[in-house]
Structure 1
Amino acid sequence: MNHAMPVCRFAISAIFALLLSLTFAAPVRANEAADIAQMFRAGQQTEAFARLDKLLVNRTASPELRFLKGVLLVEVRRTSEALVVFQSLTEEFPELPEPYNNLAVLYAASGEFEKARTALEGAIRANPGLAVAYLNLGDVYAQLARQAYQKAQKLDPASSGIPARLSVLRELTESRSQKPAP
């Protein structure tokens, strides 16, 4: 059974549009992030991470670069490191919704739906207009509902309404996993 909410995979090019649109205290030159992304897309992942780490030595407070590092870590499936990056960004920059959203996606992908819900609520507090956070929150609620119905079915296998509800939720969550949120 797949318990994971669909992971929001950002296309590398879309990330840069997002990074450039964010308002941060210490802006990064747009081409620095774009250059690193280009290296990453070209298969030069080691070089991209080395360059990013070098830039972060002098700009440890740069949320754009740290966010980019978190996204790239997700892309190479270094999830535990990405979790640390996004968690620290939510603590140091609670006004930024994107790190909360990415943190929630990672939690949901590992079946930690309560943590995902909490992170998405943080994203919504930071930016009540972030549609993707509401979309992801709906997915998390659907997974939590699915878990609740499964538990109810275990406790009362004779209950007639549970299979239909589970079927609807399965259809909803499986159709969403085919089309991840941008």
Structure 2
Amino acid sequence: MNAARPFAFRALPQLLLAGALLLGGLAQAQPAAGAAYAPLQQLLASGKAAEALAQLDERIAAQPRDPQLRFLRAVALADLDRQDEAIEALLQLTQTYPELAEPYNNLAVLYAARNQLDKARDALEMAVRARPDYAMAHENLADIYARMAFEAYSRASGLDPAVAARVAPRLSVLRQLLATPGGR
């Protein structure tokens, strides 16, 4: 793995999947609830983020507190490479609905893409606090810790030749781990 290039989480291409999960409890209580979002999710999945965003903005104007619509809007913004707006939308969502784990996970993905690993770690820790059974967030958190370890070992290695020799095997293992197939 190239140390300068931020690694991608498996969750990054699964932003939409996390959007479907956001409805978890709501969909069980209201079976038709998930169907209301399916056309928007299909637009996003087919690469029509601009069209989805226009429809989302219309629906959010009528239902401004709907967390699913707001989450899908953040996904659309990220898909359109409007990262600052996507981050702001997710931050607002976490402030309004701190009990939802998915916005924290996706916020972490955006932070990690910017190599803001401390912010990514903090967001993922909030995700696993909100939902301890959220495997994707745990996996992403482990990836963040691995990346942070890699960077710390790299810094230590550059400071002292004796340390460089000691940490070389660890750096090799982490480099291999971070370069495994699946987007890392």
1:120/1:41 CA distance change after superposition, 3 Å? closer
Return the structure number with greater helix share: 2
The alignment's C-alpha RMSD in Å is 2.3
Q: CA shift at 1:116, angstroms? A: 0.6
Q: CA shift at 1:16, angstroms? A: 5.7
TM superposition score normalised by structure 1: 0.86
Q: CA shift at 1:180, angstroms? A: 4.7
Cα distance in 2 for residues equivalent to 1:41 and 1:135: 23
Q: Kindly indicate whether the alpha-carbon contact (under 8 Å) linking 2:6 and 2:115 is maintained by their aligned counterparts in 1.
A: yes
Cα distance in 1 for residues equivalent to 2:68 and 2:77: 14
Q: Which runs of 5+ in 2 are unaligned?
A: none
* Equivalent residue in structure 2 for 1:75, among 64, 74, 79: 79
Q: Which runs of 5+ in 1 are unaligned?
A: none
**Residue in 2 aligned with 1:95?**
99
Q: CA shift at 1:155, angstroms? A: 1.2
SS at match of 1:77: coil
**Residue in 2 aligned with 1:86?**
90
Q: Kindly indicate whether the alpha-carbon contact (under 8 Å) linking 2:22 and 2:100 is maintained by their aligned counterparts in 1.
A: no
Cα distance in 2 for residues equivalent to 1:135 and 1:128: 12
Number of equivalences = 176
Q: What one-letter code is carried by the residue in structure 1 that aligns with 2:24?
A: S
Q: CA shift at 1:34, angstroms? A: 1.1
* Equivalent residue in structure 1 for 2:21, among 18, 23, 28: 18
1:166 and 2:168 are equivalent in the alignment: no
* Equivalent residue in structure 2 for 1:66, among 49, 70, 91: 70
Cα distance in 1 for residues equivalent to 2:175 and 2:61: 46
SS at match of 1:161: helix
TM superposition score normalised by structure 2: 0.85
Q: What one-letter code is carried by the residue in structure 2 that aligns with 1:122?
A: M
Matches within 5 A, 1:113-152: 113-152=117-156
Give me the identity figure in percent: 40
